[in-house]
Amino acid sequence: MKYKWILFDADETLFHFDAYEGLNLMFSRFGITFTEQDFAEYQKVNKPLWVDYQDGVISAEQLQTIRFQPWAEQLNTTTQAINSAFLTAMADICAVLPGAKELLHNLKDRAQLGIITNGFTELQQIRLERTGLQDYFSTLIISEQVGVAKPDRGIFDFAFSQMGHPDRREVLMVGDNPHSDILGGMNAGIHTCWLNAYGQQVPEGIEPNYQVATLSELNELLLPAD
């Protein structure tokens, strides 16, 4: 295999991320019935915030504060308390995507594996522990800790310093988001693989080296049968 390092995104690349289910569970613990309409209103605020976060316009703390401000006022609590409760709920419902464990098991003796995620610190390690994936990865890079998010080259430069400055021709970035994972890998000068589960069109200006629909397909791409 030509790659000595394979870097993965987390949400919807290794882990299923169902925000509605997590919010539903979290609000039930506050005694609130969270509806699909509530979720639609939440997403009107949340989605633009994530774009601003990835573009470096706002910080992780600002994102976490702004998206839950109306609910904090309604529940007479803090945005930090709600955000923490949400991440706990997401950890409680976490599930590994099909093919992930098999892929990681097959790769672990052939390459070093890492995660670069724009997700938040509070969720990452507990999710790796609960799913039994923590031992597969030699590096875990979290944008909230680094202070810069994908697709900014800075988070990749930080990762490479933690990885011992590998030859970038021998590094592959795998992710489901073309605007953060694939563009980020391109900005960093490494090869990329888009996990395009829904057969979307490639966005203009973004050129992944590979596309796969499933992690099993990625397994076949990286480790073809003899």
The whole model's pTM is what? 0.93
State pLDDT tens for residues 139-194: 999 999 999 999 999 999 999 999 999 999 999 999 999 999 999 999 999 999 99
Q: CB count, 10 Å around CB of 136?
A: 20
Say if residue 122's pLDDT is above 60: yes
pLDDT at 143: 95
74 CB-side CA count, 13 A: 9
Q: Which residues pair with 212 in a beta bridge?
A: 195
pLDDT band (50, 70, 90) for residue 59? very high
pLDDT at 1: 80
Say if residue 226's pLDDT is above 60: no
Say if residue 125's pLDDT is above 90: no
173 CB-side CA count, 13 A: 32
| 3-state SS, residue 166 | coil
Say if residue 104's pLDDT is above 60: yes
181 CB-side CA count, 13 A: 29
Q: List, by residue number, the catalytic residues.
A: 9
Going along the chain from its start, the domains and CATH numbers come out as 5-16+95-222 (3.40.50.1000), 19-92 (1.10.150)
State pLDDT tens for residues 41-58: 999 999 999 999 999 999
> Which uninterrupted H or E stretch holds 141?
strand 139-142
Nearest residue to 77 (alpha-carbon basis) of 88, 87, 65: 65
Backbone angles phi, psi at 127, to 5 degrees: -70, -40
Residue-level length of the chain = 226
Q: Peptide bond preceding 151: is omega within 30 degrees of 0, i.e. cis? A: yes
Q: Which residues pair with 112 in a beta bridge?
A: 5
Tokens describing residue 127:
């999710």
* Residues near 85 by beta carbon (within 8 Å), at least 6 away in sequence: 26, 29, 30
Backbone angles phi, psi at 69, to 5 degrees: -60, -50
pLDDT band (50, 70, 90) for residue 224? confident
